[in-house]
Amino acid sequence: MSLETRAAVLAIWTVVLVVILAIRISLGPTFDPLCTAILVLAISIRFACPCCCSAKSSPPLSVRDDYSHVPDVEPFEIEAPQEQKETSADTCLRNEPEELNEQLITSASVTSSNNRLLFLDNVKTFLTALVVIHHVTCAFGACGEGSWFLIIGQDGPVAFHRFGAILTTLNQSFFMPLFFFISAYFVPSSYAKKGGEGFRKSKKQRLWIPAMGESFLIVPACTAIANLVARGELPFYGPYPGVAWFIFWLLIFNWVYSTLVEAGNNNDKEQQPRREFPSTIQRLLWGIGVCGVLLLPFLVMLKGDFASMPISVGSFTCDFLMFYLGIQAKTHGWLETSLSSQLDIRPLSFACMVFAEALGIAVTTFFIDQHSWVGLMCVLLAGVFCLDMGLLVLLIFQQYMNFENRVTKFLARSAYGVYLLHPLVIVGVTALYAVIYNMISNDDPIIFRDKAGHDDLLVVGTGGEKYIPLGWTLVTIMSNLIVWPLAYGFTCLPYLKNIL
């Protein structure tokens, strides 16, 4: 009966998605703000409405039993020598939120002495740094109009734009799906520990509140800075998720997971048979089929965003698949043993295969506008690259970065805040670069057009072509130097330390 009930619940979710997709496709991109508003409203009712958060919900005993061995450990706790007093920095590192504590804990052969997969901390730091670099590249014209709040260098050197196109395409192919995978990995133990009501309350604190802050504070501030620099005027107030699209969709996935678990039989304690780690053939089929072929119609029909999610290579169906695989990885213990030992090919051969996929994507970006079949090849290659590159990152970090020290603790503690704050920092630093450049250079000033593509809140500037690569380098360095300490500082504040 539990399987039939879960199938019915999944069917309902599928119907809801199909209906919203059909309306979005038929009405076009102009309907997407309404889709986004519906998404935010539904999530807010589910996770923030007192009547929903206080609803009676029994924790599934079978899931709770599966993870009853998970201990409570402070993952960033620093044991100072007896003769050394604890500093304020140590205190801040010790104040890790409960939600993150449970997310970084597991019992496995590759864990540390306090039962944590340390390499996942470092993977999150790496992916967050990639997000910052990716958006700086968008700010310098590599992603096209309408892709960022303030863009300069739209007419920059061809070589730089090709470099930017390759970098952003490769990033887009795997880094957000890998974020979904890692987030999903911690969902079963989180739900098992807290039960339905506690699970929703924790997601409200750790996900919904930051997402709303990003949408109603950070994004409007970014558009305000961009318009002040470009036009000398403030735009109308327009909240939008921005980079918080990931958090809102993560909440949707958590919602789906909780309804599926709650639809099961709480008295069923039978363990699922262990599923073997996906083979190379399976990953190729999933990459080509789910992340490639299934994604193609949405790339063609949606043309832009869907409920604030950017639709491109490595999105939508890829995110769905990677979240599902993250759940499976936790359920069947894939990350708790050596990934290299679970591969059915040699790790070096696998790395060469991933390099070949990346090279193929890089080559297709040069000709993607000339032939439609080249675009098809790029999407299919990116689909395979999504799974393989994500696995390669996990494999490398598990083998060589499964440790922590004061630097990695600082970076891991700051990563969530960096993700939320980096748009504001990047826009501010980019605007400062444009102002300083125009003050010291009169030959080719950066000039901003009145409107940028389809959205007059997004600003595009031309000029300064010769120094665009230098500007990108400077803004990348300065943005990282500012945003990581800034985010860490926010994690030390009394209320925010329990959220970030």
Could you read off the pLDDT tens digit of each residue along the chain, which spans 500 residues? Answer: 467 788 888 899 999 999 999 988 988 888 889 899 999 999 999 988 766 654 445 454 344 344 433 333 333 332 333 334 444 445 454 444 444 444 433 333 465 545 578 999 999 999 999 999 999 999 998 887 778 998 887 777 888 889 999 999 999 999 999 999 999 999 999 999 988 888 999 999 999 999 999 999 999 999 999 888 887 778 788 899 999 999 999 999 999 999 999 887 554 445 667 788 999 999 999 999 999 999 999 998 988 889 999 999 999 999 999 999 999 999 999 999 999 999 999 999 999 999 999 999 999 988 877 777 888 999 999 999 999 999 999 999 999 999 999 999 999 999 999 999 999 999 999 999 998 988 888 778 888 865 444 445 567 777 778 889 999 999 999 999 999 999 999 999 998 888 88
The b-or-e profile of 122-138 (16+ CB within 10 A means b, else e) is bbbbbbbbbbbbbbbbb
Q: What is the pLDDT of residue 266?
A: 52
Listed in sequence order, the DSSP H helices in 401-467 are 406-440
Instruction: Give residue 229's pLDDT.
Output: 84
CB 491 within 8 A of CB 418: no
Question: Contact, 437 vs 464, CB < 8 A?
Answer: yes
Quote the pLDDT of residue 144.
Answer: 74
Question: Distance (Å, rounded) from C-alpha 264 to C-alpha 266?
Answer: 6
Q: Report H helices in 308-405.
A: 317-332, 339-342, 347-367, 372-400
CA Rg value for the chain: 23
CB atoms within 10 A of CB 66: 18
Which 3 state secondary structure label does DSSP give 20? helix
Task: Please provide residue 194's backbone torsions phi and psi, each rounded to the nearest 5 degrees.
Answer: -100, -25
Q: Please report the pLDDT score of residue 60 as a whole number.
A: 45
Overall residue count recorded for the chain in this entry: 500
